[in-house]
Amino acid sequence: MKEIERPTRNNLEGIGGWLNPSRYGWERISYWFQRLTGVFLLVYFIGHVYETSTIVNGQNAWESFLELTQTLWGHLFLIMVIGASTFHSANGIRLIFTHAGIGLGTPGRPDYPYNPASLNYRQKSGIWIALILAAAAMFYGFNVLFGV
Amino acid sequence: MNNTAIDNKNEQKITLKVYRENRGQDSGSHHDTFEVPYKKWTTVLDALLFVKSYMDPSVAIRYSCRMASCGSCGMKINGVPKLACYTKISELETSTIECEPLPNFPIIRDLVTDFSRFFNHHKSMQPYIQTNDSTEVDTNKGTFSFYQSPEDVDKYLQFSYCIKCGLCYSACPTVGTDLNFPGPQALAQQYRYFADTRDESKKRLDIVDDRHGIWRCHFAGSCSKVCPKGVDPALGIQLLRSYMLGISKNDKIPAKKIEINDDDNNNNSSKI
């Protein structure tokens, strides 16, 4: 790829541009959730690896660390993990299909008011399914952890 | 400054908040507020031109055709990139309209931004038909034209409607964090030429196969959401990527060349 001369960075939206996803519809909100849950799950996995590694220090160290997850905040954190992983997986599957060109529609002759073929009902349904699955998984996790 | 000839108490008025900055003078930025009369059909560009004519001629804007054909008047209107000439005040349904320069484009002055980086990315896509022989431009051997069916044309036509207004580039979250990412406009143009049966270039996919290239698109869809011409850049990018991943097969059949003889030209006919 031809190297582009690096001009001034002024007026770049940067990560701040991600913080207001409501301007561009559900697809942008889904993008924001996918990034947010991805970073959250990365933090969780690093913590999880650290947590499981405490077993090398003996059973007491392992159990004392495990008790952290048995608190109110520990349970809420795990419910967040359940919701994030469910949304990230379900929405990720949708994105795998779109990256493969599946479910996007075909190019044609655009007519006013120019509804984009790629932002069709299949994509919106996929996003809603991912959100509903995440909510259902969090609800199930809440029932299991809090015994409601 | 008020103009009494046009100051009518019965007229509806809108508050325009216009971003002001002059990078050349490095004097910082601020917003100026103007009360502008409007009708049902008044566009944001009309209102800005009213400001320039009767209130503050120093407001800098770029515009030309006033009919969404030239792509000059792109700006952030109430937080979303839009063409000022294509956005009616009455459709915004707000009492205040905030006009700011397009994000991800360096500001020159007020609402005028620098498109150099955007056009450089566009040029880097080699946005022209490339063929393996040059006979069609060799006038000594006669001229040629290409045969394309309507179905062949439909594969790329919508992407050729791009007016390079920069709204998609401005809305793209990846562009906002990676200056080397070509952006939706350039990538969609790459698909436009890749899908064209007249184009025989074998290097098109290599141009975008880069860690700052097509793989940085995460299908936020914002580019297609803001496109004023229905180009749908996100569709082009995903279709191009499906070819690069080997999921879609490149079954493009090169367009047949039709020789046009002088006699045929005169008779308004051609020979395949």
pLDDT tens, position by position, A68-124: 888 999 999 999 999 999 999 999 999 999 999 999 999 999 888 899 999 999 999
Task: Read off the pLDDT of residues A11-37 as tens digits, 9 standing for 90 and up.
Answer: 898 888 887 788 899 999 999 999 999
**What are the boundaries of each domain within chain A?**
24-101+116-146
Residue pair B235/B217 in contact by the 8 Å Cβ criterion: no
Q: Which domains are present in chain B?
A: 12-113 (3.10.20.30), 116-244 (1.10.1060.10)
Contacts of A13 in chain B (CB under 8 A): 103-104, 173, 176
**Contact between B219 and A99 using a beta-carbon 8 Å cutoff:** yes
Of A1, A17, A119, the CB nearest to B207: A1
Write the pLDDT tens digit of every residue in B235-244: 999 999 999 9
Q: Is A147 helix (H, G, I), strand (E, B) or coil?
A: coil
Residue B70, phi then psi, degrees to nearest 5: -95, -25
A121 touches chain B (CB under 8 A): no
Burial A36-60 (b: 16+ CB within 10 A, else e): ebeebbeebeeeeeeeeebeeeeee
Q: Which CATH class is domain A24-101+116-146?
A: mainly alpha
Residue B82 is predicted with a pLDDT of: 97
Residue B118's closest CA among B205, B212, B183? Answer: B183
The one-letter code for the residue type at B134 is S
Residue B122 at interface with chain A, using a CB cutoff of 8 Å: no
Q: Is the dihedral of CA B236, B237, B239, B240 positive or negative?
A: positive
Q: Residue A17 carries which side chain, given as an amino acid letter?
A: G
Q: Which residue of A has its CA nearest to B232?
A: A116
Start-to-end C-alpha separation, chain B: 68
- Give the one of B107, B173, B232 whose C-beta lies nearest to A17's C-beta: B173
* Bridge-based pairing state of the strands B12-21 and B29-38: antiparallel
Cis peptide bond N-terminal to B254, omega within 30: no
For residue B31, the model assigns a pLDDT of 95
Residues 209-238 of B with CB under 8 A from A: 209-210, 212-213, 218-222, 224-232, 234-236, 238
Q: What is the mean pLDDT of chain B?
A: 89
A10 or B79: which carries more pLDDT confidence? Answer: B79
Sorting pLDDT into bands at 50, 70 and 90, what band is A3? very low
Say if CB B98 and CB B78 are below 8 A apart. yes
Let me know how long chain B is.
272
List, as ranges, residues 12-51 from B with C-beta within 8 Å of A: 23
Instruction: For residue A118, list chain B residues with Cβ-Cβ distance below 8 A.
Output: 221, 224, 232, 234-235, 238
Average pLDDT, stretch B43-52?
A: 97
pLDDT of residue B270: 45
Question: Which run of H or E residues covers position A87?
Answer: helix A72-99
Q: Inform me whether the C-beta atom of residue B94 falls under 8 Å from chain A C-beta atoms.
A: no
Q: Quick one: pLDDT at residue A4?
A: 46
pLDDT tens readout for residues B102-145: 999 999 999 999 999 999 999 999 999 998 776 655 556 666 77
Tokens representing B103 are 């994000």
**DSSP code at position B64:** S
What is the per-residue pLDDT across B55-74, written as a single tens digit (0 to 9) for each? Answer: 999 999 999 999 999 999 99
